[in-house]
Amino acid sequence: MNNFQTQVYEQLDKLDDYLSSKNQSERILFGLIVGIVLAAIVYFLLFDLSNNFKLNKQDMYNEIESKVTQEQAYIDSMENGGFLALEQRIRAVQNEITQAQGDLKILQGLRDEIFVYSKDWFLTFDDASKAAISMGLTVNGTDVKMSDKATLGGMKYSSFVLFGYGRYSSILKYIDWLETYGKFISIDSIIVESKDNRLNFSVSIRNFRGGV
């Protein structure tokens, strides 16, 4: 038996001794008082538990009611055109995307066409003249012949004749430069002749457009 149990039994013995010394009416009155006290304690305990239970139930009810209200509001919004509006918006966006893709293809075609027909020639007249001058030749001018014709590869070209005079070694150097300039130009003809105490030359160059 532990200390707490011993103290309880001692108190009960004291209470029994106290009651045994009293008459019957006093014992009944004391028992009634004890009963009232115990009843009050039990009542307040049950009342507190009841209040806590009611509060918990009220909190649960409020939470459920709030969720139901939210769900109902969502359902009402959908019924009032939410689903239809969303579906219509998706279709509208899909149509916009389709239209934008079509416009993009058209713009790409226009861009490619503009690029092909506006890009500089692979060898411009000015570049051909500057190259000849840098090699010690004198350029008298150019005879330009534009053409809308195209080769079998689809590349459009023009042709021009650059003519002038200079030393034979410089003319050979210039011809070599033209031949190694690139695959998008070609030399149609070369004429070198001595006239008026100087060596004249004329070079016919076929020049292709870039960008194809």
Closest CA to 174 of 129, 126, 132: 132
The answer to whether residue 172 scores a pLDDT higher than 50 is: yes
Which span out of 70-84, 114-128, 137-151, 160-174 was modeled with the highest average pLDDT? 160-174
Mean pLDDT of 96-118: 64
Rounded Cα distance between 154 and 207, Å, is: 14
- 8 or 39: which leads in pLDDT: 39
Residue ranges per domain, the chain? Answer: 1-118, 125-208
Report residue 186: phi and psi, to 5°: -140, 150
Q: When comparing pLDDT for 186 and 198, which is higher?
A: 198
Structure token pair of residue 22: 């009293």
Span 125-208 CATH architecture:
2-Layer Sandwich (3.30)
Beta strands 185-195; 157-165: pairing state: unpaired
